[in-house]
A and B are shown apart, each in its own frame.
Chain A
Amino acid sequence: DVKVTQSSRYLVKRTGEKVFLECVQDMDHENMFWYRQDPGLGLRLIYFSYDVKMKEKGDIPEGYSVSREKKERFSLILESASTNQTSMYLCAISSGETQYFGPGTRLLVL
């Protein structure tokens, strides 16, 4: 079974704070993804990584950065959190053509 874990289920942060969301996988998957999910907008890809230290922008990268120093760990960074970044953040890995998701982090920025 593929296991994807995310560091927090719920987070409350203040505007302007730097926020780190971590994702860890327990298998040797190369591709990892960060999405946000908002009502009526579906899942939108923020960044993805296909190898250590490799990253590519997704559809909505503005306001975010990522880090992948080790294969099993992919971090999403909000450099200066804003209220419009309040959302559900989902990490995924791909195994073949199928992506498997972590449980999500619900982030509230006040």
Chain B
Amino acid sequence: DQQVKQNSPSLSVQEGRISILNCDYTNSMFDYFLWYKKYPAEGPTFLISISSIKDKNEDGRFTVFLNKSAKHLSLHIVPSQPGDSAVYFCAAMTSNFGNEKLTFGTGTRLTIIP
């Protein structure tokens, strides 16, 4: 049972344009969401997160939007740069469980076309 879903395995975007990566979840107990970026043969690096008490969080070129009623979040990257080409994972947790356990999606491979 995949509780966190990234339905697009891959996405190609022109350099300078906006990249939008989507993520859906089914568990209504999730209240904290994170995005990670992963290059080949490296560990994932944390990008940005959002708590369920917010609907938007912004950090430089990265913005995460949360729609709790739709159980949907998205990551916007603008403008997209060649170094953004990587696999992006969304992750979710229930923060009051105390064990900080994350559930990950299957990932979206983003390719930025120069």
- Which residues of A come within 8 Å of B, CB atoms? 4, 9, 31, 33, 35, 37, 40-45, 48, 50, 56, 58, 90, 92, 94, 96-104, 106
Measured between C-beta atoms, what is the minimum distance from A90 to chain B in Å?
6
B42's nearest neighbour on chain A, judged by CB, is A103
Known: A94-B100, A99-B100. A43 touches B44 (CB 8 A): yes
B102 within 8 A of A: yes
19 contacts between A and B (CB under 8 A): A4-B43, A33-B101, A37-B38, A42-B89, A42-B105, A45-B103, A56-B99, A58-B101, A90-B43, A92-B43, A96-B100, A97-B32, A97-B34, A97-B49, A98-B46, A99-B46, A101-B36, A103-B42, A106-B41
In the complex, chain B residues whose CB is within 8 Å of the CB of A106: 41
Residues of B within 8 A of A (CB): 6, 9, 32, 34, 36, 38, 41-46, 49, 89, 91, 93, 95, 99-107
A42 touches B42 (CB 8 A): no
In whole angstroms, how far apart are the Cα atoms of A20 and B8 in the complex?
Answer: 35
Q: Determine the residue in chain A with the shortest Cβ distance to B43.
A: A101
CB-CB nearest in chain B for A102: B43
Evaluate whether A42 and B104 lie within 8 angstroms (CB atoms) in the complex, with A48-B99, A97-B95, A98-B49 already known.
Answer: yes
Count chain B CB atoms within 10 A of each CB in A4, A97, A102 and give the residue with the most: A97
- Measured between alpha carbons, how far is A100 from B107 in the docked complex, in Å? 17
* A96: B residues at CB distance < 8 A: 100
What are the 10 closest A-B residue pairs judged by CB atoms, nearest first? A101-B43, A42-B106, A94-B100, A43-B104, A42-B104, A104-B43, A103-B43, A101-B44, A97-B32, A102-B43
Q: Indicate if the CB atoms of A50 and B99 lie closer than 8 Å.
A: yes
